[in-house]
Structure formats: structure tokens, C-alpha cells
């Protein structure tokens, strides 16, 4: 009986993974390649396939097999398989508790969301996006009702979807620290902040072709395996994959902002290296891929900020940049460049925010999502609330919605509860970086252009485990301590508190 159930489970899993692969390619194509006019036709096909995929994933035999295996967990000998069964059993909630029609309707809704959001953003008109966002919020509130348990209530349910184990209570504690320690710290730092960098850096034009060359150079520096990876361009940089065999990243090139593509590329490289270094044994299972969004973001932030924005990194690689942009960077020293890429400044746009002010942008979103889900905030009042909280926490008030509530794509594809993981990720990264330094000489590795030493440490302590460990377990494995936001506060205060080299 057990063998039979395992077989049923594995056969269906194989199918689901194939559907996911196809779905992934279509999604990648949509974001990076498909012509605009094909949108409606594609949505039609996506609707049909969402139905087909649902059918396979909700096959009764398959669901029964999962329940049987979960009831007989102790008879399973393989630890990974046990973990997987627990995971898929938990995921069964979606099918068992959410009516199918609602599920399909929602898939269609969020497939069209990003295009509607993009139009609203482009036209700087929240009212274009409002009805869609209203539906998305209402659906998420319904989800919450369907999925609530004794332990998880309200917004907790969504937070747990994106970062297992995190709750309003835990995030409140984390963001309270940001509110009480970081908000005043940032106000002080940015108040006294004189511009320390060479103004010439904001004035040059940096042709895309050369920026592309530098992105490719970075792929080499970080050991990105092009035999299993792709670098492409898209409006919003992202990393995308469904196994460790084919990991794709995008970046964007602004000819008037050199560092935009550089740090986008390194950021996505962090995500990509994580995925590439997961153990191949998980590829055909539901334990493949990164453990959580927070852990994922910890990797991208660690590579982007702790390595990519370090002085020692630019001591090695600045000359390469100067080779590509000899005129534009003439007379600018590596120290000036370093200061430029580490300036702390209150600003309106999250994805352009620096390392120090970044978590304040997340704080704004966290409070908004919390009150959207508990019903205290209405979608129509969002733009006003956004301006209010930006003033309060970031100390900067947007005039337009384009640079305010419409700046981020996430809600348009249904993700509520996702944003907090961005700040959490930076905090994880600080803790990881601290402990990694106790075991290997990170600075020397960067100095010797030997990033693989860092890659290897992260592979061993984080990456290879894929989803076989929870975020909490990974932090324990890698740092021998539970998550502790104090490392993050210490790190930021040290980096931005005293004048840098």
C-alpha cells in the first residue's frame, strides 16, 4: 500500500513539474520577449492551461496519496521525502479549502494584473489600477479566511506563505526595531550628509553596449555558469528558474545611470547562484529551489551590498570599468566611486533606494498591507496613506502616484505579504555575513578575485539544502543562532555611522 501510494505521488509530481516548466517558460517569454499585441491571445491560453494544471494537481488519487503518506510519515525512511510530504500536505490547503472557480478566476486576474498596473504607472493614474487591485485585495482577504488556523490569523496567513514561520508578531518586533532605531538614525545620517562623491559621476552617458560588457564581466567574476544560465534585459530585473539546470536573470540598462545595471546584475546574481547551487537531487522534487523569499533576498543582498558595494571589491574591478568608460570616469578615483555607490539618501523609489534607507520603504509597505488585510485601510485611500507613511518613515513625500503607490509591480501579480521579506532578507544577510567571516577570510577572497570561496561557503551552509530546511533551520545551520536583527542594526550603524575610507 505504501509503495503504491508513493508511486502515485511520484507519477503525478512528475506531471506537475512538467506543467510548471512549461508555465515557467511562458512566463519568462511574457516578461522578456512576447510582443505587446499578443497579450489577449496569450491570456486565453493561460486560462485554459491554469485549468489543466489545476486538474492534474487536484487529482483525487494524488491528493489521497498525499494524505495517506502524511498519515504514515513514520513509515517513510528518507528524511527529505518526509519533509517533502509535509510540505505538499500543507499546500493541499489551497486545493481543499479554496473553491476551484475562484482559484482559476484569480489566476486569470493576476495574469493580466501586471499589464494593467504598467499602464496605470505609465499614465500616472491610480484609478486605472484601482479596480484590479481592489479585486486582488478582496481575493487575498478571502484566502486568509479560507486558510486561517489556530496559529495563523489574518495577515499572518499571507506572511507565512512567503516566509514560513513568520507572523505579524515576529515582524512587528523586527519593524519596531527599524522604527525606533533606524528611522532616527537615518534622519541624523542623511541630515548631516554632504555629498561626498564626485558630481561628474551623475552626469555621464554610459552606452548600453559597454554596460552589457561589464555585466558579462560580472558573470565571470561571480562564477555564473552560462551553460546553465541566461542573462537578458527586462524593464524590471528578476531571476527566474524551475530547477538548478536553467537559471535566468535579467538586468536593465539606463544610459544615464551606470550603477543601475551593475548592482541589478550583482543582486540577481545572488539569487541565481543560490538556485544554481541547490543540490541536483532536489530537481525532480518539490523541495527544489530556494527555501524562502527572505533567505533568497539575503543572498542577493549579501552579494550586492556586502560584496558588491565593498571597497575591496572595487579596488579589484574598478579598472575594468574605467577601461570600458575611459572618458566618463576620467579623473574619478576608486575611492570616489566607492563613496558614490554607498551614498545614503532619503528617496522615493524603493528599488533605487540605498542599503541604509531601503528597509524604511519596506516598513511603509508592511504597515499598508497589514491594514489592507485587516480592513482598516481601503484601496481607494492607498495613495494618501502612502504619502503619509513615506513622510513619516522615509522623510520624503511623493507628489505623483507613479513615484508613490504605483511604483511596485508586486501587488499586481497578487503578492501581498511579499514585501516584508525584502527587509528580512537584508537582516538575514547581515547575520550570515558576520558568521561567514568567522569561518573564512571573506575580504581576502574578494581581494584575490576568488569569489568561489564565498560561493562554496554559502553552498555548504545555505544553498545546497534547497527547501529541505526552513529559514529558521538554515539560520541555525549557518550561524548557530536563531535570527537576530541586532546584527543588521550593528552592520548598518557601522557602515553608515562613521565616515568611510
Name the residues that contact its own copies, by CB under 8 A.
14-15, 17-19, 21-23, 25-26, 28-29, 33-38, 40-42, 44-46, 48-49, 52, 56, 209, 225-230, 232, 243, 245-246, 283-284
* Least distance in angstroms from the C-beta of 207 to its own copies: 11
Q: Which is nearer to its own copies, 298 or 455 (CB)?
A: 455
Which residues have a Cβ under 8 Å from the Cβ of 287 and sit 6 or more positions away? 80, 83, 84, 87, 466, 467, 468
Least distance in angstroms from the C-beta of 8 to its own copies: 15
- Kindly state the smallest distance separating residue 462's Cβ from its own copies, in Å: 22
Q: How far is CA 50 from CA 104, 255, 289, 375, in A?
A: 7, 39, 22, 30
Nearest to its own copies of 41, 380 (CB atom): 41
**Of 338, 308, 280, 334, nearest in space to 222 by CA:** 308
Task: Please give the full DSSP string across 180-220, using - where no structure is assigned.
Answer: IIIHHHHHHHHHS----S-GGGGT----HHHHHHHHHHHHH
* Residue 447 annotated as catalytic: no
- Closer of 227 and 438 to its own copies (Cβ): 227
Name residue 57's beta-bridge partners: none
How near is the Cβ of 118 to its own copies at its closest, in Å?
15
How far apart are CB 251 and its own copies at their closest, in Å?
Answer: 16
Nearer to its own copies, 29 or 195 (CB): 29
The CA angle 242-139-407, to the nearest 5 degrees, is 70
Rounded least distance, CB 25 to its own copies, Å: 5
Which of residues 2 and 21 has its CB atom nearest to its own copies in the complex? 21
Nearer to its own copies, 19 or 413 (CB): 19
Q: What is the rounded (10 degree) CA torsion for 317, 320, 324, 326?
A: 90
8 A C-beta contact, residue 231 and residue 251: yes
Chain position carrying cell 492607498: 382
Using the minimum distance from each CB to its own copies, give the nearer residue, 163 or 246. Answer: 246
H or E, element range at 251: strand 247-251
Cβ atoms within 10 Å, residue 435: 16
Nearest Cα residue to 133 out of 414, 417, 418:
414
Q: How far is the CB of 40 from its own copies (least distance, A)?
A: 8
CB neighbour class for 473 (10 Å; exposed up to 12, middle 13-18, buried from 19): middle
Query: Which one from 84, 163, 268, 304 is the annotated catalytic residue?
Result: 268
Residue with cell 550593528: 490
The DSSP call for residue 257 is B
Q: Please tell me the distance from the alpha carbon of residue 26 to that of residue 303, in angstroms, as a whole number.
A: 29
Does residue 82 contact residue 73 with C-beta atoms inside 8 Å? Answer: yes
Q: Quick check: 322 and 331 in contact, CB under 8 A?
A: no
- Active site (catalytic) residues: 268
Amino acid at each position: 500500500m505504501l509503495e503504491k501510494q508513493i508511486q502515485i505521488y511520484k507519477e503525478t509530481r512528475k506531471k506537475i513539474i512538467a506543467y510548471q516548466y512549461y508555465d515557467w517558460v511562458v512566463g519568462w517569454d511574457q516578461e522578456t520577449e512576447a510582443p505587446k499585441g499578443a497579450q489577449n491571445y496569450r491570456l486565453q491560453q493561460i486560462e485554459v492551461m491554469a485549468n489543466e494544471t489545476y486538474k492534474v494537481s487536484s487529482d483525487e488519487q494524488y491528493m489521497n496519496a498525499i494524505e495517506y503518506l502524511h498519515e504514515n510519515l513514520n513509515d517513510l525512511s528518507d528524511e527529505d521525502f518526509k519533509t517533502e510530504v509535509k510540505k505538499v500536505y500543507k499546500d493541499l490547503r489551497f486545493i481543499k479549502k479554496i473553491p476551484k472557480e475562484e482559484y482559476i478566476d484569480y489566476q486569470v486576474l493576476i495574469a493580466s494584473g501586471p499589464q494593467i498596473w504598467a499602464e496605470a504607472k505609465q499614465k500616472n493614474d491610480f484609478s486605472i489600477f484601482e479596480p484590479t487591485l481592489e479585486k486582488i485585495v478582496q481575493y487575498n482577504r478571502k484566502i486568509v479566511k479560507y486558510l486561517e488556523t489556530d496559529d495563523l490569523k489574518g495577515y499572518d496567513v499571507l506572511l507565512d506563505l512567503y516566509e514560513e514561520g513568520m507572523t505579524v508578531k515576529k515582524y512587528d518586533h523586527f519593524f519596531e526595531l527599524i522604527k525606533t532605531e533606524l528611522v532616527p538614525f537615518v534622519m541624523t545620517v542623511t541630515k548631516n550628509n554632504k555629498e561626498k562623491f564626485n558630481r561628474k559621476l551623475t552626469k555621464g552617458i554610459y552606452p548600453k553596449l559597454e554596460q552589457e560588457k561589464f555585466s558579462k564581466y560580472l558573470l565571470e567574476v561571480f562564477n555564473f555558469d552560462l551553460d546553465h544560465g541566461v542573462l537578458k534585459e527586462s524593464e524590471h530585473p528578476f531571476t527566474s528558474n524551475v530547477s538548478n539546470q536553467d537559471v535566468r536573470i535579467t538586468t536593465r540598462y539606463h544610459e544615464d545611470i551606470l550603477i543601475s545595471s551593475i548592482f541589478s546584475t550583482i543582486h540577481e546574481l545572488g539569487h541565481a547562484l543560490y538556485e544554481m547551487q541547490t543540490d541536483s537531487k532536489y530537481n525532480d522534487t518539490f523541495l527544489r529551489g530556494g527555501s524562502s523569499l527572505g533567505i533568497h533576498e539575503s543572498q542577493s543582498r549579501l552579494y550586492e551590498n556586502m560584496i558588491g558595494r565593498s571597497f575591496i571589491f572595487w579596488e579589484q574591478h574598478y579598472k575594468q570599468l574605467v577601461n570600458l568608460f575611459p572618458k566618463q570616469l576620467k579623473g574619478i578615483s576608486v575611492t570616489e566611486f566607492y563613496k558614490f555607490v554607498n551614498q545614503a539618501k532619503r528617496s522615493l523609489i524603493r528599488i533605487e533606494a540605498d542599503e541604509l534607507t531601503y528597509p524604511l520603504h519596506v516598513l511603509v509597505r508592511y504597515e499598508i498591507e497589514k491594514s489592507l488585510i485587516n480592513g482598516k485601510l481601503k484601496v481607494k485611500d492607498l495613495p494618501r496613506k502612502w504619502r503619509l507613511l513615506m513622510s513619516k518613515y522615509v522623510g520624503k513625500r511623493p507628489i505623483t502616484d507613479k513615484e508613490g503607490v504605483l511604483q511596485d509591480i508586486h501587488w499586481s501579480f497578487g503578492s501581498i505579504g511579499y514585501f516584508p521579506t525584502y527587509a528580512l532578507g537584508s537582516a538575514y544577510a547581515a547575520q550570515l555575513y558576520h558568521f561567514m567571516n568567522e569561518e573564512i577570510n571573506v575580504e581576502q577572497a574578494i581581494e584575490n578575485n576568488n569569489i568561489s570561496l564565498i560561493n562554496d561557503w554559502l553552498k555548504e551552509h545555505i544553498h545546497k539544502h534547497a527547501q529541505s530546511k526552513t529559514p529558521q533551520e538554515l539560520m541555525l545551520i549557518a550561524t548557530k543562532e536563531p535570527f537576530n536583527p541586532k546584527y543588521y542594526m550593528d552592520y548598518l550603524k557601522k557602515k553608515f555611522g562613521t565616515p568611510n575610507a
